[in-house]
Amino acid sequence: MKSRWSEPEARRAVAHYAERGIGEDLALRTYSARLLGGDRRLVLHGGGNTSVKTCMRDVYGDEVRVLCVKGSGWDLATIEPEGHPAVRLEPLLRLRRLDKLTDEEMVSVQRANLLDSAAPNPSVETLLHAFLPQKFVDHTHSVAAVAIADQPEVEEICRRIYGERLACVPYVLPGFGLAKAAASAFEANPEVEGLMLIKHGIFTFGATAREAYERMIELVTLAESYIAVTARPRPKPREQSRHPATDEAELLAALRGMLGSAAQGKWPRHWIMDCRKGPDIEAFLGDDKLAACALRGPATPDHIIRLKGKPLLLLPARCGELKAWAEKAALAIGDYAAEYENYFQRQNARAGGRKKALDPMPRIILVPGVGIVGIGKDKADAKIVADLFEAAMASMIGAEAIGRYEPIGEDDQFDMEYWSLEQAKLGKSAPKRLGGHVVVVTGGAGAIGAATATAFAREGAEIALLDIDSQAVARIAKSLGGSALAVSCDVTDQGSVASAFTKVVECFGGVDILVSNAGTALTGMIAEISDEILRRSFEINFFAHQNVAREAVAIMKRQKLGGVLLFNVSKQAVNPGPNFGAYGTSKAALLALVRQYALEHGADGIRANALNPDRIRSGLLTPQMIQQRAATRGVSPSEYMAGNLLREEVTAQDVADAFVAQALMQKTTGDVMTVDGGNVAAMMR
């Protein structure tokens, strides 16, 4: 590992932040915190923390000594000076003399001594930073350092690697106790450059930002070299069965359904997945000893709130044996949940019986032959889970190569998992109505498709946009931000539809809601129209809907989580207009299709509903068309667009809101909803 410190860049950071009135100490703190945060082998997703001791003026103009320490919610990779809120140092130091301090008291003292009361909560490791006398303190859960920290012989190994340069600190739950233990370890040998926190991670410190940072790089590099030199050769992994991509999607959807049934109605049923594979993962899963290692516990205690104490290890999945595998997997998920509930009962009794159980679902599922599957409440969450496990995997491989991977035991796992200050890191935002649901929108690059995607994203759903215009759909997905997936797809081509749905399932784990929206409006008098035009209209307005609905239903049945099929039908299905025969007849057939799905799949919990919008500005109703039609009727374009009972133009947003409403109406199927501002001729009867 190389130092990425650049003196010119450090100077630029100082000059840049000086313009905002930020002092040099905090500017350099920000610069080197970002260097640490930018390396995935050191820091991932809000892990690690950094600090600097400096002087600032308070509101009275008095100069006070402060500890600027990482605030909760900030990520080192993107941290700004505000991410290191200033806490008065003296009151923190006085705490050292106390024998006992509850977590609540600790948080309260830290908050009460912030110079800015609106700043985020200082890190749970604030006191550890405060009690070390050095100006700059850096802490990471580096992959290599953790491989050393999780050894039964950690102290002996550290002596071998570092001599007197580093002191070991016994495992203690982060907070007041750990801060005192770390300070004592340091004071026993004040010449040390860093601390190895057993079964946790590594601290380095120095008089300057550069010294603390470069010590981190050097001490971690020494750990890496030790692992490389000492590593025993790994046994050849057992033969892996290669899994064709189509099977993988089937397997994920089945797995997602199993999580839903294991929830027993008590816990969330809908989860999002992030599946990772590759040679390293395959080698890990192909080695029984390594895979079993993961069951011993988390590489660093910080992981436990996202990964739980251990993953669920399933049997290898082989091509063509999915059914038998799925039966065993379903039992294994049920067992995992039951075992977690037992763990909670047992540990909660030990810890005083005051904790509230968290859901018992696994967050990492290991499937030899396929990969590792991260499970989250949304895609971002599932990705974080998979990233953390990949880092943990690297630590486990290192640890087993040089000795034995031995993380914290069950009692410590429980104390960390149910520590209120850890749970607070996950935030307490109320779950959104469609959180954990995957929505596929066809015609995703059009006005209605884009508005619909936005409306579902606002409800917390994961979005997959399908469109034949691959560039436009990619733009819309990007504009949604987050994890929206753009898939180029010709909905009239069954092969293209099948591969698009495979991509969606591989990305999110399944499909819950289909908004079948792509359409075309071809014109011509019905007696004069060519067969080619008429058939083309049926291809897009009827068969394409059938193509996507069939794929969606196949996935929904595999998941056994129910589902919703929503179709953009249009008022033409019930209220034909002249010259629109090709459109109206195909849409009338589509309305019959919707009812057929409602009829045949109600028993699967799959609802099918139709929306009848009219006069929406879109690719099917362009400004020129509006001009022409308004002129024919002798009215202005805006009068034409508001030509309904409510006298208001109907927009793509109105259509999008109606789709969301239909998705949420749990007891409604076979429904036709109008979104046309009121039109007696188009009313359902």
- The rounded Cα 300 to chain-centroid distance in angstroms is 20
Question: What single-letter amino acid sits at 623?
Answer: P
User: Which residue lies nearer to Zn ion by CB, 149 or 259?
Assistant: 149
What is the closest distance, in whole angstroms, from the C-beta atom of residue 134 to Zn ion in the complex? 17
Segment near Zn ion (CB under 5 A), from 195-203, 218-226, 238-246, 334-342?
195-203
Per the CB < 8 A criterion, the answer to whether 1 and 39 are in contact is: yes
User: Which residue lies nearer to Zn ion by CB, 22 or 416?
Assistant: 416
Per the CB < 8 A criterion, the answer to whether 276 and 385 are in contact is: no
User: Which residue lies nearer to Zn ion by CB, 201 or 297?
Assistant: 201
Helix/strand/coil for 104:
helix
What is the closest distance, in whole angstroms, from the C-beta atom of residue 130 to Zn ion in the complex? 15
Residue 433: Cβ within 10 Å count: 13
Question: What single-letter amino acid sits at 682?
Answer: A
Residue 264, classified by CB atoms within 10 Å of its CB into exposed (0-12), middle (13-18) or buried (19+), is exposed
Q: Where are the alpha helices (DSSP H) in 351-437?
A: 379-402, 410-417, 420-423
Helix/strand/coil for 185:
helix
What is the closest distance, in whole angstroms, from the C-beta atom of residue 401 to Zn ion in the complex? 23
Sorted by sequence, the CB contacts under 8 Å of residue 481 that are 6+ apart come out as none
Per the CB < 8 A criterion, the answer to whether 93 and 145 are in contact is: no
- Determine whether 583 is an active site residue: yes
User: Which residue lies nearer to Zn ion by CB, 127 or 373?
Assistant: 127
Q: If DSSP states are collapsed to H, E and C, what string results for 132-159?
A: CCCCEEEEECCHHHHHHHCCCCHHHHHH
What is the closest distance, in whole angstroms, from the C-beta atom of residue 182 to Zn ion in the complex? 11
Residue 421: Cβ within 10 Å count: 18
Q: Alpha-carbon dihedral of residues 348, 350, 352, 354, nearest 10 degrees? A: 0
User: Which residue lies nearer to Zn ion by CB, 412 or 676?
Assistant: 412
The DSSP 8-state label assigned to residue 540 in this structure reads I
Per the CB < 8 A criterion, the answer to whether 24 and 14 are in contact is: yes
User: Which residue lies nearer to Zn ion by CB, 201 or 360?
Assistant: 201
Sorted by sequence, the CB contacts under 8 Å of residue 320 that are 6+ apart come out as 247
Give the strands of the sheet with 312-313, arranged side by side: 272-276, 371-376, 364-367, 312-313
Segment near Zn ion (CB under 5 A), from 6-14, 52-60, 105-113, 200-208?
200-208
Catalytic residue among 405, 583, 597, 640: 583
What are 649's two structure tokens?
């133009």
User: Which residue lies nearer to Zn ion by CB, 196 or 473?
Assistant: 196
The interface with Zn ion within residues 543-582 (CB under 5 A) comprises: none
What are 329's two structure tokens?
């997997």
What is the closest distance, in whole angstroms, from the C-beta atom of residue 415 to Zn ion in the complex? 15
What is the closest distance, in whole angstroms, from the C-beta atom of residue 121 to Zn ion in the complex? 15
What is the closest distance, in whole angstroms, from the C-beta atom of residue 34 to Zn ion in the complex? 18
Segment near Zn ion (CB under 5 A), from 53-61, 196-204, 392-400, 658-666?
196-204
Question: What single-letter amino acid sits at 334?
Answer: G
Length of the chain: 685
What is the closest distance, in whole angstroms, from the C-beta atom of residue 155 to Zn ion in the complex? 19
User: Which residue lies nearer to Zn ion by CB, 195 or 466?
Assistant: 195
What are 91's two structure tokens?
């009151």
Give the strands of the sheet with 485-488, arranged side by side: 485-488, 462-467, 438-442, 513-516, 563-568, 606-613, 672-675
The interface with Zn ion within residues 201-220 (CB under 5 A) comprises: 201
User: Which residue lies nearer to Zn ion by CB, 201 or 436?
Assistant: 201
Q: Which residues of 162-178 are buried (b: 16+ CB within 10 A; e: fewer)?
A: beebbbbbebbbbbbeb
What is the closest distance, in whole angstroms, from the C-beta atom of residue 301 to Zn ion in the complex? 7
Nearest residue by C-beta to Zn ion? 201
User: Which residue lies nearer to Zn ion by CB, 124 or 673?
Assistant: 124
What is the closest distance, in whole angstroms, from the C-beta atom of residue 395 to Zn ion in the complex? 14
Residue 284: Cβ within 10 Å count: 24
Query: Count residues contacting Zn ion (CB under 5 A)?
Result: 1
- The rounded Cα 16 to chain-centroid distance in angstroms is 33
Residue 555, classified by CB atoms within 10 Å of its CB into exposed (0-12), middle (13-18) or buried (19+), is buried
Q: Which residues are at the interface with Zn ion (CB under 5 A)?
A: 201
Q: Active-site positions?
A: 583
